[in-house]
Structure 1
Amino acid sequence: MAVNEAKTLVFLLTDIEGSTKLWETQRREVSQALERHDLLVQRVASEFMGKWIKQRGEGDSAFMVFTSVANAVRAAAALQRALLNPGENQMVLSVRCAIHVGEAIQRDGDYYGPTVNRCARLRGLAHGAQVLLSDAAHQIFAEAREEGFAFIDLGRHRLKDLLEPERVWQLKAEGLPEAFPELASLDYTPNNLPLQHTSFIGRAADIERLVEEVHAHRLVTLMGAGGSGKTRLSLQVGAELLEAFPDGVWFVPLAALEDPGLVPMTVAQAMRVDPTLHVDASSVAAAIGNRKLLLVVDNAEHLVDAVADLAARILEQTTETRLLVTSRQALRVAGEKTYRVDPLSVPPTGSSHDPTELLAFEAVQLLLDRARLRNDSFKLDGHNADAVAEICRRLDGLPLALELAAPKLAVLSAGELLKRLKDVFGVLQGGPRESLPRHMTIEAAIDWSYQLLEDDERALFNRLAVFRDGWTVEAAEGICGFGEIEPTRVLDGLESLIEKSLVISHQGPLGARHRFLEPVREFAVRKAAEETAMAERAARWFLEWLRQKEGSIGSENWLAAVGDEAQNLHAAVQELIELGDRQSALTLCLLIHIWWLARAQYVLGVNAIEQALACAGEAEPESVGRCLNIAGVLKWRLGAMAHAEQYFLQARDIFAQANLSSRETATLNNLALVEMDRGNTESARGYLETCLRFYESQDDLANSAKVLTNLAYLSKTKSEFETAKIEFEKGRLLAHKVGEPDLYIRATTNLADVMMLLGEYRAAESLFLEALQVSGCESEAWFPGVLEGIAYLAGKTGNFERSATLSGAAEHLWQSVAEKPDAHALALRASLESMLLDGLGLSKLKELKRKGRTLSPARLASTTRAWLEGCSPSS
């Protein structure tokens, strides 16, 4: 069954009325009563063939699942009777219950979907000791005509999900009270919140935070890009706040309004107040008076001055009224609290995705929900999971874009839709007929914001399209600051674009970074078509930027900075190639290549170098030879030995002709690696000994360390472990002495393998721990191999469950790096698999490996480090 294939289930949700106040006043009694409550929930769930999902409870609530409405009703009645008769000297807990039936998705032992959400909303209507049923649940139970149960028709009520009203029924049974106040539905609180036709997906944390913000601040402005879901979020927050505003929650849509002078009248009409004949901001505020109400003012960006004036008057002239405003820019009114509405969460980049894991991301949930509206047979499974994840990333989690993309899945597969999204504006058209014109296409939604910009802001917006994956202020000033936009004005322009929700920002380890959402970037690229010189300006700026960082190549900060700019740097290489500037293209490749090696980006590096080498144009022989040698190393890491050898030989010949002896010797070292992998150990040793003699004659300690480490590895492949142990120790000490951290760690992890094979497990533990204490180790190319080594170590020391979890994690991580395990690692893996099968059995082994695949690299590093520290004799 596909992971999102829904099952029809019955949900019984409960919570304790007034639990917060009880905790504050009678903590000891409540604690005892809750213990009894949980025991009763567990008992009735079991007695009536249901399941209590304990992790979904929030301390004062319960979440139960049944396959039969009748059993859910019996369980609710039994629970209420028991709670209402607790026994002598025990507190009576007033619990409200709701029962609903429908489809839901099961994931990791939990349940998700609109049916669950609807049941929670139904529970919110109930009073303590009351059991409510949805109309769907009532109809099913009524057909059974079971004695002892009857129902009271409470009529149709609007729930806080803002969907179609629900006909609600109250359970009537022996021992249960019948008289209750009116239900606390939207119908009994003044409001004009519009009916919604689709379910609200995700954003639970946003709603919780915004409810707090509205209580804390009288003016809250939701800011975000067009199509980011500000309107729908504001409506849900308004629904949540109904009980807090007895004079109503009033929705004021301004999107279709063009005349700023009509803003006060529009607000007055929405609130149903009767202001004086002369309607302005002050008269509206006066008409509100001391009412306690919430105004939800939607789409204020094109009328920002008028809305700001009205908000200021209301804040000055009233004491109880609050405003929740949606806008693509702030109002800039005293006391305003802005809240950034980010896109929905999207899956991280990766080579493959587990369909079950994808359901944790809000963008995936929204896409699937809306796709099933048009095509109820659409499923998320192993065949389309990667395409679905990439669609969500490609659209940057923007709700409007996802809403427009989802209907296409009725006629296209996810893979086909992904291919068509190369023309995102051509594909994402045709919103609902009732939508505003600017929400009919994603292009129109962005153009609405673009047209509100000043001329200089538009010019900067267009120039920023040159960046492929974000930028720093330094880069924006250096590349975009020329002509009519002086470098000193770029910061002000960027600040304005951020305020107007066309650019998003975040603080990273290296400082502030800015970017467009992907659909916005594509819009900017179209608008910037006439900016023909921008790509060359960017390419030459990034070349100079990296030249200035040569002194810190390979450091953590350097790797992080290059990682941030990776897409911009590779775009720069391509631009230099197109310009025919072969020398500059090769130079840029040489400046980047340490990052390719450290971050296992081998394919990316090979492609860039091969295209630069093939470029027509002049270049220095040394640059050509160095790039050929690097291409060989990258091919060797990819396991393409024939191609690697070809590049090494070409590089050797160029260096020999240019009398570059040190460079030529480096290629011999690399040729030794090829021979080693082919099993030609004597030929490999000959190359390495030649290299070592040369480097020692030049007193080149760094390269001597590399050759010593390679000689040690050669001994390891020949199972000469005692020799390998001595050589790895020499190599790593020398690497430490000359400051070669990557070489030091590779020597250390290989030495750990050798110690493990010699049965010296304590020493191996200490060496592996040393590797995992490197900052950012989970990002290194060697990390999967280290995990696999530790998995073997754990298995050999009897820690089979940890071993299996780490083994699954390592296998998963190998898929995300281009480097593949060598013959020794594969043999170790086979031995480990056999050991774990014997120790755990196939079923348990599979379960633990699945668990390992779900753990993040950072979590793996920290938990494994903690385990090794516990193993260490010094701990």
Structure 2
Amino acid sequence: MTTTAATSRRRLPTGTVTFLFTDVEGSTRLVQAAADRWPALLEAHDRLLREAITGSGGVVVKTEGDGFFAAFGSAVAAVAAATAIQRALIAHHWPEGFAPKVRIGVHTGLGLLGGDDYVGIDVHRAARITAAAHGGQVVLSEPTVALVERDLPDGVALRDLGRHRLKDLSQAESIYQLDIDGLETEFPELRTLDAVPNNLPLQVTSFVGRRAESARVRELLETSRVVTVTGTGGTGKTRLALQVGAEIGGRFRDGVFFVDLAPVHDADLVPSQVLRALGDSSSPGNRTPRDALLERIAEREVLLILDNFEQVIAAAPVVADLVAASPRSRFLVTSRGPLRIAAEHELPLEPMLLPDAPDPASLEGSDAVALFIDRAVAVRPDFRVTDDNAAAVSELVRGLDGLPLAIELVASRVRLLPVPEILARLDYASPGTGAVDLPERQRTIEGAIAWSHDLLDAPVQALFARLGVFAGGADLEQIEAVCGDVGVDILSGLAELVDQGLLRQVAAPGGRARFRTLHVIREVALVKLEASGTSTEVHRRHLEAYVAWADELVPHFMGEDRKVWLDRFDVDHDNVRTALDWAAVHGETDLALRLAASSWRFWQSRGHLQEGKSRLQTVVSLAGGEPASRAAALEALGGVYWWQGEIDRCVAPYREALAIQRELGDPAAIANAIYNAAIGEAVAANRTGDPDEGPPPDVVKGEVYALFDEGEAIYRRLGDENGLGNIVWGRGIAVSDLDDDVQRALDLFHESIDHYRRAGNEFGMGWGMFEVAIFSARLDDIDTSSDYLVQGLELFARHHDVSAIVLFLALASALANLSADEERGARLAGAARGLRNASGTNIVDHEITRIRGLALDELDPSRLDLQPLYREGMSMGLEEAVAYALGRDVSDVPGL
């Protein structure tokens, strides 16, 4: 829906409020017939309705398509508005054949606000009353009639239409019609459940959200004989099916019938259960129930809802027979998995839509939040989403994965605690207890999951428990490594879990098969894993699997396809975190060192430097571990310090790593450690020296250059172009910092690019380009600097290397300022600062200040005229900032 400008919370009435809904009958047909004339027709319709509503003192809360939702502080005013709308529509001159027929429903109830919208049962009731009406008709609820019957507009009378069950499946309501002099007063029977035979059970709560899903089910039933709604326990399959049945049941001549299969465990009993739901005897004399059912339904036109089919899946052929026997009927099935019959169209029901951001405005469009608010208001009428609790509400529904049952269970706690306290205390494996009149399986998440879990064989139950160790899902390769000995074929076991709604197949980079459980289901799986006595063994296998996996990915983090490999790591980052956490607590030092060392380039490239520092500091503080593993982790820690601009701190781990590698004796490892140690010593010496005392002592320079000489000699013997690129790049930094030889440094950076290009190291090439751009600017060659800036930024944008992009944006800002384009410089400075703050990339201070006299990504506080532009830059996302720096649209930047 579109929220209008008139819906500020201050203007919406509260307390006793009268709600008015409108809808154009047959609007789809009208739109198609009107074609290009429809916009003008809709504009006239909207103007007439808005004038009538506001002219009667109402507030337009929302519009959706041709429908209006308005609120009034007075029931009399609402009835006056409804009367005015119908009279205005009749009086208006419409093109022949194109006069819209508008149905209107009016209901008075409690006006509860959730954010800037109304929530609660009375809003839903008003909408359902409207849905029962016909075009040109105005219908009112009994509470509204009680307030207006002695104060009706002139020429208006009330007509009692009797009691009707609305399409919200609640108890019967008394409905009245407004008879307006001069307008049509005779209409067909109301579109309510009473219009057709049905046995749909009453529901004590309103149907919230799922508008798209409901529409999709209705659409599928137009063309498919069998629609099976599948999904995890607690996703709301039954409630959706009932709502669809209530809304379209009137289309079926012989009615809509609900068959509850929850109590049935024997597939042979399904025909008897269906006969009972249809109102027939389940003991049909000498015929079998199956034969009697097929005969009974053959000539009928019904919508049959078969609920909880998963535990009687062997009865799927019965449904196939029903399809063949009753060609005019439709069958709506809910199940954890599909029936796998020819006529079936499966519709997986995903968890509810989650909010994009934690602010109140962003929560408004989320079905998950709407459900939480509705159920919270039911137990605490004064509940509101405010600036103080919006973030907690967002985090809560996200932590519950948008699972409706979990949300409803947690919402019941609002009666006792504010949302932030609920969030702090929440156990995701046991989020709450539902109402006592719910089925046992729906009173807790454990109950909903147990309903599926208990249908599984023991080996598949063991597989389910083991899958709990995976955070955020896993590829088939990792699942086989961790769960391969549970006594069942892994693919078959996964298929069973998917069919029971306990596991989901999700998209993964590269089109690989990937599976994940919802967060709340994973928590239950972990509880079962702990109870099995195999938790330690399974967690260690998970750790080993991801150590081996990370070792496989690391060699690809520098090459042409590095984005592909970084993306793969990103997908499993939560698994790496989980494995490192477990390793640190359980003393698995060597595996922890190896995994953290393999992860650091990902942390650096994708803006997780603060996390990387924390994790590497933790693992190097652990006792034990192989010397080679410790050296690798120390080099990684030194690298993180470097990128965070803590140059002084990188020297000690680099020195220790070099000492270890010399003892181990691997030439390539020694040369790499030499490169790190030499560059760390060079830059740290320059940063700690007093500028007034001249360059650092010759002894420091001698040690640094001796290290570079030694490393170069090793790499030349090995024929290692990448290593030579590192050495040459490092020399460039050293001659700049220790000798202030800008031209020599520039020549070395050009040379490093050649080495990196021959080695296929795009990461190194990009950094060579960055330094060429920096040092060209220092020599006042702005054209060359700009050319290399573009080349390097394009390269790293394609890699989605966040840390690199931060530096290039800061450089772009500096070059804009050198070119006297202060506005562009301010925006780019803000963009660099925003992404720098998010990623922790503080090496930018050291690198860009090589261009003397430029204030990098800070802004002169006195330049108030540039402050808005700086803030504008800070609000840019990565893609937008890169495109702006390159002067292009986002769609024109490869990789974005």
Q: Normalization by structure 1: what TM-score?
A: 0.82
Query: Could you tell me how far apart the structure 1 residues matched to 2:39 and 2:588 are?
Result: 75
Q: Within 5 A, what are the aligned runs for 1:44-193?
A: 44=52, 47=55, 56-58=63-65, 60-63=66-69, 72-87=78-93, 90=96, 91-100=98-107, 103=111, 117-135=124-142, 150-173=157-180, 175-193=182-200
Q: Within 5 A, what are the aligned runs for 1:721-870?
A: 738-745=759-766, 767=789, 771=793, 780-783=802-805, 816-819=838-841, 830-831=858-859, 838=865, 867-868=888-889
Give the structure 2 partner of residue 479 of structure 1: 482
Give CA deviations for 1:252-276 in whole Å, capped at 9, x if unaligned.
Answer: 1121334544432322222224674
Query: Could you tell me how far apart the structure 1 residues matched to 2:223 and 2:402 are?
Result: 29
After superposition, the Cα gap between the structure-2 partners of 1:389 and 1:245, relative to the gap in structure 1 and judged at 3 Å, is same
Give CA deviations for 1:258-302 in whole Å, capped at 9, x if unaligned.
Answer: 454443232222222467434512211211222211111111222
Secondary structure of the 2:428 match is helix
After superposition, the Cα gap between the structure-2 partners of 1:230 and 1:448, relative to the gap in structure 1 and judged at 3 Å, is same
Give the structure 2 partner of residue 310 of structure 1: 318
Give the structure 1 partner of residue 730 of structure 2: 707
Query: Could you tell me how far apart the structure 2 residues matched to 1:288 and 1:490 are?
Result: 41
One of 260, 268, 283 as aligned partner of 2:292? 283
Give the structure 2 partner of residue 628 of structure 1: 634
Structure having the higher Rg: 2
Letter in 2 for 1:434: D
Structure 1 unaligned segments of length 5 or more: list them.
none
Give the structure 1 partner of residue 674 of structure 2: 664
| TM-aligned CA deviation for residue 243 of structure 1 | 3.1
Give the structure 2 partner of residue 320 of structure 1: 328
For the aligned residue pairs, the C-alpha RMSD in angstroms reads: 4.6
Secondary structure of the 2:376 match is helix
After superposition, the Cα gap between the structure-2 partners of 1:832 and 1:594, relative to the gap in structure 1 and judged at 3 Å, is same
Query: Could you tell me how far apart the structure 1 residues matched to 2:367 and 2:312 are?
Result: 31
After superposition, the Cα gap between the structure-2 partners of 1:66 and 1:443, relative to the gap in structure 1 and judged at 3 Å, is same
Secondary structure of the 2:468 match is helix
Secondary structure of the 2:865 match is helix
One of 310, 316, 337 as aligned partner of 1:329? 337
| TM-aligned CA deviation for residue 862 of structure 1 | 7.1
Give the structure 2 partner of residue 444 of structure 1: 447
Query: Could you tell me how far apart the structure 1 residues matched to 2:80 and 2:467 are?
Result: 63
Give the structure 2 partner of residue 460 of structure 1: 463
Give the structure 1 partner of residue 421 of structure 2: 416
Query: Could you tell me how far apart the structure 2 residues matched to 1:186 and 1:207 are?
Result: 17
Q: Is the 8 A contact 1:656 1:664 kept in 2?
A: no
Give CA deviations for 1:75-126 in whole Å, capped at 9, x if unaligned.
Answer: 443333232133385442222233456546577x887776655444333222
Structure 2 unaligned segments of length 5 or more: list them.
1-6, 717-722
Query: Could you tell me how far apart the structure 2 residues matched to 1:626 and 1:264 are?
Result: 67
Letter in 2 for 1:19: S
| TM-aligned CA deviation for residue 527 of structure 1 | 2.5
Is it true that 1:559 corresponds to 2:563 in the alignment? no
Give the structure 2 partner of residue 297 of structure 1: 306
Q: Within 5 A, what are the aligned runs for 1:508-657?
A: 508-510=508-510, 511-528=512-529, 529-531=532-534, 532-554=536-558, 555-573=562-580, 582-620=589-627, 622-638=628-644, 643-651=649-657, 654=660
Is it true that 1:346 corresponds to 2:374 in the alignment? no
After superposition, the Cα gap between the structure-2 partners of 1:145 and 1:527, relative to the gap in structure 1 and judged at 3 Å, is same
Query: Could you tell me how far apart the structure 2 residues matched to 1:232 and 1:866 are?
Result: 51
Give CA deviations for 1:354-374 in whole Å, capped at 9, x if unaligned.
Answer: 343234333333223322322
Mean alpha-carbon deviation: is it higher for 855-864 or for 501-510?
855-864
Q: Is the 8 A contact 2:880 2:890 kept in 1?
A: no
After superposition, the Cα gap between the structure-2 partners of 1:356 and 1:33, relative to the gap in structure 1 and judged at 3 Å, is closer
After superposition, the Cα gap between the structure-2 partners of 1:467 and 1:774, relative to the gap in structure 1 and judged at 3 Å, is same
After superposition, the Cα gap between the structure-2 partners of 1:726 and 1:375, relative to the gap in structure 1 and judged at 3 Å, is farther
After superposition, the Cα gap between the structure-2 partners of 1:4 and 1:248, relative to the gap in structure 1 and judged at 3 Å, is farther
Q: Is the 8 A contact 2:832 2:857 kept in 1?
A: no
After superposition, the Cα gap between the structure-2 partners of 1:440 and 1:860, relative to the gap in structure 1 and judged at 3 Å, is farther
Q: Is the 8 A contact 2:654 2:673 kept in 1?
A: no
Mean alpha-carbon deviation: is it higher for 257-266 or for 728-737?
728-737
Q: Is the 8 A contact 2:810 2:844 kept in 1?
A: no
Query: Could you tell me how far apart the structure 2 residues matched to 1:860 and 1:104 are?
Result: 42
Q: Is the 8 A contact 2:259 2:273 kept in 1?
A: yes
Q: Is the 8 A contact 1:161 1:200 kept in 2?
A: yes
| TM-aligned CA deviation for residue 158 of structure 1 | 3.0
Q: Is the 8 A contact 1:460 1:480 kept in 2?
A: yes
Q: Is the 8 A contact 2:354 2:397 kept in 1?
A: yes
Q: Is the 8 A contact 1:52 1:63 kept in 2?
A: yes
Secondary structure of the 2:227 match is strand
Letter in 1 for 2:312: L
Letter in 1 for 2:314: D
Query: Could you tell me how far apart the structure 2 residues matched to 1:430 and 1:752 are?
Result: 62
Q: Is the 8 A contact 1:749 1:768 kept in 2?
A: no
Give CA deviations for 1:206-239 in whole Å, capped at 9, x if unaligned.
Answer: 1111112222221122221221211111112212
After superposition, the Cα gap between the structure-2 partners of 1:441 and 1:696, relative to the gap in structure 1 and judged at 3 Å, is same
Mean alpha-carbon deviation: is it higher for 809-818 or for 611-620?
809-818
Q: Is the 8 A contact 1:469 1:567 kept in 2?
A: yes
Query: Could you tell me how far apart the structure 2 residues matched to 1:567 and 1:193 are?
Result: 44
Secondary structure of the 1:838 match is coil
Q: Is the 8 A contact 1:766 1:868 kept in 2?
A: no
After superposition, the Cα gap between the structure-2 partners of 1:319 and 1:657, relative to the gap in structure 1 and judged at 3 Å, is closer
Mean alpha-carbon deviation: is it higher for 98-107 or for 156-165?
98-107
Secondary structure of the 2:394 match is helix
One of 25, 29, 33 as aligned partner of 1:21? 29
Mean alpha-carbon deviation: is it higher for 174-183 or for 146-155?
146-155
Query: Could you tell me how far apart the structure 2 residues matched to 1:117 and 1:782 are?
Result: 52
Secondary structure of the 2:494 match is helix
Query: Could you tell me how far apart the structure 2 residues matched to 1:42 and 1:769 are?
Result: 56
Give CA deviations for 1:409-430 in whole Å, capped at 9, x if unaligned.
Answer: 3323434333433x434x4342
| TM-aligned CA deviation for residue 834 of structure 1 | 6.8
Letter in 1 for 2:859: S
| TM-aligned CA deviation for residue 433 of structure 1 | 0.9
| TM-aligned CA deviation for residue 496 of structure 1 | 1.8
Query: Could you tell me how far apart the structure 2 residues matched to 1:812 and 1:196 are?
Result: 50
After superposition, the Cα gap between the structure-2 partners of 1:592 and 1:207, relative to the gap in structure 1 and judged at 3 Å, is same
Q: Normalization by structure 2: what TM-score?
A: 0.81
Give the structure 1 partner of residue 719 of structure 2: none
After superposition, the Cα gap between the structure-2 partners of 1:115 and 1:812, relative to the gap in structure 1 and judged at 3 Å, is farther
Give CA deviations for 1:526-555 in whole Å, capped at 9, x if unaligned.
Answer: 333322432333333333333344542342
After superposition, the Cα gap between the structure-2 partners of 1:14 and 1:534, relative to the gap in structure 1 and judged at 3 Å, is same
| TM-aligned CA deviation for residue 791 of structure 1 | 8.5
Q: Is the 8 A contact 1:265 1:279 kept in 2?
A: no
Give CA deviations for 1:475-524 in whole Å, capped at 9, x if unaligned.
Answer: 22233223744xxx221222222122221111222311012222322222
Mean alpha-carbon deviation: is it higher for 734-743 or for 551-560?
734-743
Letter in 2 for 1:526: V
